[in-house]
Amino acid sequence: MPPERQDVLRELAERVRANNDEFTLLESLDSGKPLDVAQGEIERAISYFEYYAGLCRSIEGKQFPYDADALIYTRREPYGVVGQIIPWNFPFVMVSYKLGPALATGNTVVLKPAEQTPLTALRFARELQEVVPDGVVNVVSGFGEEAGDPLTSHQEVRKVAFTGSTEVGHQIMRNAANRTAPVTLELGGKSPFIVFPDADIDVAVESVAGVMYYNTGQSCDAPSRVFVHEDVREEFMDAFLERTQEEVVGDPLVEGTTMGPLVSEAQYEKVTGYLDIGREEGATVAAGGGVPEGDTYGNGWYVEPTVFSEASNDMRVAQDEIFGPVETVITWSDYDEMIRQANDTEYGLAAGMATENASLAHETAAELEAGNVWVNKYATLPPGVPFGGYKQSGIGREHTRETLLAYTRCKTVDIATDRSPM
Ligand code: NAI
Ligand code: MG
């Protein structure tokens, strides 16, 4: 029942809090995140477990007064077994995003962490063992094809939730379609950030750089296409390049490092490949563009924070999700054309803008095809606020009350009340 589930989720949050340092170190070692970044994410996961603990108390049905001789009501029931597959970019945060709503609604779960970063999920399984009844949560690590695919095609997995690449998202949807299992998908992005001529440039620079370089650019909602108005282009670029130079690339375990390596060799090959593609397409390398030199970097998948300027929206570096610290800057002058280009992408996860004009901000927010739009800030996602994509960026909204609906089925019960008394 919901009160017991609430206790369970609270207890899980407490146990992570009590072992915060251990979770932080594991997360950093596994993913290459600087320690303070990893710490922030463990705390974020704790706050999501607590949020979903609270949401347990908001599960409710409805009653329909449309027949005088009947009591008609709905129940929200769990699916049973839910399959959840998560990626490597925010390993433990993703555990909280996925387990939170599934447990709050009374489902059982098979959770598959990413093969690159299973450690915090496996460490958490030890706590789960002591807090959750046997069989309720099963952490199954493994590769996508061997462990993920069977999970999404299994007849008895009644609902599937996935965060990862759009390509695998399509495959998962096809598998689920064979048995009409619902899916929630949180996929890729190529999010625009618009700098208007009246923007506070410091705010614009920090909104973009603070997320683009966070986690070495491996965020689905990274603002990876900047549309800067020609009147402020120079001012913005000067400040943005200066901010880019402030990134300290290096060992994640050394204090002061702001940017660790990419997660894996595959990701390194992908990102450095795009550094070449950008040059070949004729974008200007305004910063970075390569791999840092020196012994410190001998054994890591490091890349330099990179800015491509003089880019156009049809270049591959402006269309493809690179998933590395690579910013693409496009200059604009005509509002309608800029909006058209901002929306001219297969993705629609997020968008941002910097302007001091409130009316313009509302108008532009309405015109952008994106599930989340930030103004004079970027990617703040407090628990409770919906997150999710338009177009190829996904289906469903996470982190909010509506998420509970995705983890429950609606049953309508209609009872005749006009029977004569016994
Ligand atoms: P991926 O989508 O292949 O992997 C994500 C998760 O899906 C992992 O747990 C993986 O084991 C699993 N998986 C892989 N193939 C599967 C299959 N056939 N059936 C079921 N599960 C499967 O992503 P990958 O290859 O690690 O990264 C490639 C690109 O995807 C990245 O460069 C980035 O552009 C994008 N990506 C987006 C993420 C997001 O937050 N939306 C997260 C991770 C990657
Ligand atoms: Mg893959």
Helix (H) or strand (E) holding 5: helix 2-18
Residues in contact with 279: Cβ distance below 8 Å, sequence separation at least 6, in sequence order: 285, 289
In whole angstroms, give the CA distance from residue 81 to residue 10.
22
Give me ligand 2 centre to Cα 119, in Å: 19
78 is a domain residue: yes
The per-residue pLDDT for 299 is 73
CATH at residue 45: 3.40.605.10
In whole angstroms, give the CA distance from residue 273 to residue 276.
5
The per-residue pLDDT for 273 is 98
163, 214, 213, 215: which is closest to 32 by C-alpha?
215
CATH at residue 276: 3.40.309.10
pLDDT along the chain (422 residues), means of 10: 97 98 98 98 98 96 96 98 98 98 98 98 98 97 98 98 98 98 98 98 98 98 98 98 97 95 97 98 97 76 97 98 98 98 98 98 98 98 97 98 97 92 69
The per-residue pLDDT for 294 is 74
Give me ligand 1 centre to Cα 86, in Å: 8
Do 178 and 234 reside in the same domain of the chain? no
Do 204 and 183 reside in the same domain of the chain? no
Do 39 and 86 reside in the same domain of the chain? yes
53 is a domain residue: yes
Atom of ligand 1 nearest to the CA of 143: 11
Do 311 and 358 reside in the same domain of the chain? yes
Atom of ligand 1 nearest to the CA of 151: 20
First-to-last alpha carbon distance for the chain, in angstroms, is 33
Atom of ligand 1 nearest to the CA of 175: 19
234 is a domain residue: yes
Q: Kindly report the backbone phi and psi dihedral angles of residue 163, in degrees, each rounded to the nearest multiple of 5, phi listed first.
A: -125, 130
Do 266 and 398 reside in the same domain of the chain? no
Give me ligand 1 centre to Cα 88, in Å: 8
Domain count, the chain: 2
- Out of 141, 162, 165, mutate this one to test ligand 1's pocket (max ligand atoms within 8 Å of CB): namely 165
The per-residue pLDDT for 400 is 97
Do 302 and 172 reside in the same domain of the chain? no
Helix (H, G, I), strand (E, B) or coil at 34: coil
Helices marked H in 19-109 — which ranges? Answer: 20-31, 35-55, 91-104
Range of the domain at 51: 2-187+393-414
Task: Dump the DSSP string for 296-347.
Answer: GGTTS-----EEEES--TTSHHHHS---SSEEEEEEE--HHHHHHHHH-SSE
Do 240 and 181 reside in the same domain of the chain? no
* Residue of the CA atom closest to atom 16 of ligand 1: 144
Nearest bound ligand to the CA of residue 267 = 1
Please identify every residue annotated as catalytic.
186, 220
Give me ligand 2 centre to Cα 160, in Å: 17
Count Cβ neighbours within 10 Å for each residue of 176-212 and write b for 16 or more, e otherwise: beeeebbbbbbbbbbbbbbbbeebebebbbbbbbebb
Do 232 and 257 reside in the same domain of the chain? yes
121 is a domain residue: yes
Residues with CB under 6 A from ligand 1: 85-87, 89, 112, 114-115, 143-145, 148-149, 152, 163-165, 168, 171-172, 186-188, 220, 267, 270, 321, 323
β-pairing verdict for 326-332 and 347-348: unpaired
420 is a domain residue: no
Token duo for residue 176: 């689920």
233 is a domain residue: yes
Do 223 and 355 reside in the same domain of the chain? yes
Do 179 and 196 reside in the same domain of the chain? no
36 is a domain residue: yes
105 is a domain residue: yes
* Residue of the CA atom closest to atom 40 of ligand 1: 220
Do 182 and 250 reside in the same domain of the chain? no
The per-residue pLDDT for 295 is 63
Nearest bound ligand to the CA of residue 85 = 1
Do 183 and 209 reside in the same domain of the chain? no
The per-residue pLDDT for 99 is 98
Give me ligand 1 centre to Cα 274, in Å: 18
